[in-house]
Amino acid sequence: MESRASVRLRVVLSHLGRPSAGLLVAHPTAETAYPANFHTQQFQYTLDNNVLSLEQRKFYEDNGFLVIKNLVSDADIERFRMEFERICREEVKPPGIMIMRDVSIAKSEFVPDETVVSKVQDFQEDEELFRYCTLPEIVKYVECFTGPNIMAMHTMLINKPPDTGKKTSRHPLHQDLHYFPFRPSDSIVCAWTAMEHTDRNNGCLVVIPGTHKGPLKPHAYPQWEGGVNLMYHGIQDYEEDNKRVHLVMEKGDTVFFHPLLIHGSGENKTQGFRKFQDVWSFRARLVKGERINL
């Protein structure tokens, strides 16, 4: 099998301290976007603006995620990939960045090369990677969930490694809110961009639609024989009849999802990596508008 990386870019963004629901009704374009009898009150998870179609908006409300095809350009993805490689080669060392290796190779000798790096976290001080959070096409959709004041709360680029045979490349099913000390949850959204084609074979994102309407569940390390990556906690009450949906995505496709949505990813059975960029940070950084209360 061809040996190549599989890439994702992923950010968690939040509006902190959304002052009141009054914001929801004061939008001048709402009437042209939706029928007059369409009450904004029936939307809990999305805000009024002219970006989402009614269908897209209802889809997110019902399912807790929304895939936008072909959102990020190949040129930008190429730039993010090159910056990731520079970080792995230690040509740049952005302050606060954390470089992780898969647990299956955590104790082997470190070589500064992207083939051993499974994830870089907290790249908010890397101007090139942080550009992802500020791309107008990303911000435009993020605002539908957070409103106009946007903080990047966690940033991550995931280079999902080919499984070594121990199934440690899996990411157990979890809710991101488990990791977040901030609220309200409905004003938080994760933006996740495939940096190349991803499907079940290389461990695409897996979601359980509608679970954003449920509670935050208890999380713990799964009992996996081959080991589990640091901080990869999972929900405990997996039910076989849960309807998992595998999100097959092309390079540049982006999924926005709610922090209570149960999701994870399966084994990467290919010989390639799968990179994603993922963003949220306690060392949050302003993307747009005003810094409210952090």
Ligand X SMILES: O=C(O)CCC(=O)C(=O)O
Ligand Y SMILES: CCCCCCCCCCCCCCCCC(=O)SCCNC(=O)CCNC(=O)[C@H](O)C(C)(C)COP(=O)(O)OP(=O)(O)OC[C@H]1O[C@@H](n2cnc3c(N)ncnc32)[C@H](O)[C@@H]1OP(=O)(O)O
Ligand Z SMILES: Nc1ncnc2c1ncn2[C@@H]1O[C@H](COP(=O)(O)OP(=O)(O)OP(=O)(O)O)[C@@H](O)[C@H]1O
Q: Interface residues with ligand Z (CB under 6 A)?
A: 170-173, 200, 206, 238, 246, 264-267
- Residue 196 binds which of ligand Y, Fe ion, ligand X, none (CB < 5-8 A, kind-dependent): none
Task: Label the pairing between strands 274-288 and 7-14.
Answer: parallel
For the CB of residue 166, give the shortest distance to ligand Y in the complex, in Å. Answer: 12
Task: Label the pairing between strands 262-265 and 171-174.
Answer: antiparallel
Residue number with the smallest Cβ distance to ligand X:
265
> Is the distance from CB of 189 to CB of 13 less than 8 angstroms?
yes
Instruction: Classify burial at 285, counting beta carbons within 10 Å of its beta carbon; exposed 0-12, middle 13-18, buried 19 or more.
Output: middle
Query: Which residues from 71-110 bind ligand Y, rule CB under 6 A?
Result: 98, 100-103, 106-107
Residue closer to ligand Z (CB basis): 43 or 221: 221
Spatial CA neighbour of 61 closest among 264, 265, 256: 256
Question: What distance in Å separates the CA atoms of residue 182 and residue 189, rounded to the nearest whole number?
Answer: 12
> Is the distance from CB of 142 to CB of 20 less than 8 angstroms?
no
Question: What distance in Å separates the CA atoms of residue 211 and residue 177, rounded to the nearest whole number?
Answer: 12
- Type of residue at 137: E
- Rule CB under 5 A: say whether 102 interacts with Fe ion: no
Query: Which residues from 128-147 bind ligand X, rule CB under 6 A?
Result: none
Residue closer to ligand Y (CB basis): 52 or 142: 142
Helix axes 74-88, 127-134, angle to 10 degrees: 150
Q: Binding Fe ion by CB under 5 A: which of 48, 102, 176, 196?
A: 176
- Rule CB under 6 A: say whether 176 interacts with ligand Y: yes
Residue number with the smallest Cβ distance to ligand Z:
266
Spatial CA neighbour of 195 closest among 252, 124, 266, 242: 252
Residue closer to Fe ion (CB basis): 232 or 288: 232
For the CB of residue 232, give the shortest distance to ligand Y in the complex, in Å. Answer: 5
- Residue 121 binds which of Fe ion, ligand Z, ligand Y, none (CB < 5-8 A, kind-dependent): ligand Y
Q: Binding ligand X by CB under 6 A: which of 15, 81, 171, 219?
A: 171
Structure tokens, 15: 């509006």
Residue closer to ligand X (CB basis): 48 or 68: 68
> Is the distance from CB of 30 to CB of 48 less than 8 angstroms?
yes
- Rule CB under 6 A: say whether 251 interacts with ligand X: no
- Rule CB under 6 A: say whether 276 interacts with ligand X: yes
Structure tokens, 285: 């950084």
Which residues are near ligand Y by CB under 6 A? 98, 100-103, 106-107, 121, 154, 176, 179, 229-232, 280
Which residues are near ligand X by CB under 6 A? 8, 10, 158, 160, 171, 176, 190, 192, 205, 263, 265, 276, 278
